[in-house]
Amino acid sequence: MKNISTPGMIIFDHDGTLVNTNEPDFKLFPGIKELLVDLNNLGLEMSVWTARGHRSTVESLKTLQIANFFWEIYGHDDGIAKPHPSGLAKISEGFAKEKIIHIGDSLGDLEGAAAFGIEAIAACWNSSNQVEIFKRKTPFVAMTPDDCRKIISAKFNVFL
């Protein structure tokens, strides 16, 4: 059950944000697990909005031992696919939009978040060649998962 009294909600993308899917064996990006642990300890609710299929996403998160951090997962086969914001609406139901931030590595992530009316962090640890393009879409650009800490701390008035 969602805890809407939480300081806020973080919605992550899967491929290229949480998980490096460019390698044969999927791996978490350095710093992701530590960030998830810290966000969880602060009581922030976390979900996943991805263009990957639901079942594949769940299997990946379980294999990487991070599935327990996420309340909801919305994949392309759960309804209208990204970048349409309906998935964001579904997984954030009950939350005020100002209490939500999305972290993703693609223009579709940033455009979907903007269409839904929430802030987004451009995750550039897998796509550093996109930084200038992303800066035109959001003021929040992170070169490492650790860079997200300052943005999240300021947005939700928490210390990370």
Distance CA 29, CA 51 (A): 18
Distance CA 70, CA 68 (A): 6
In a domain, 90, yes or no: yes
The total of structural domains in the chain comes to 1
Mean of pLDDT over the chain? 94
In a domain, 132, yes or no: yes
pLDDT in tens, 7-61: 899 999 999 999 999 988 999 999 999 999 999 999 999 999 999 999 999 999 9
pLDDT score of 5 more than 70: no
pLDDT value at residue 24: 86
Residue 122 near residue 138, CB atoms below 8 Å: yes
Torsion angle, alpha carbons of 89, 90, 96, 97, to 10: -30
pLDDT score of 90 more than 60: yes
**Residue 66: what residue type?**
I
In a domain, 4, yes or no: no
Q: Which CATH number fits the domain that encloses residue 20?
A: 3.40.50.1000
Q: What are phi and psi of 13, to 5 degrees?
A: -85, 160
In a domain, 124, yes or no: yes
pLDDT band at 6 (very low <50, low <70, confident <90, very high): confident
Please state the pTM of the whole predicted model.
Answer: 0.95
Supply the range of the domain harboring residue 115.
Answer: 9-156
pLDDT score of 150 more than 70: yes
In a domain, 99, yes or no: yes
In a domain, 3, yes or no: no
Average pLDDT over residues 130-158: 95
Q: What are phi and psi of 57, to 5 degrees?
A: -65, -50
pLDDT value at residue 3: 59
Distance CA 31, CA 28 (A): 8
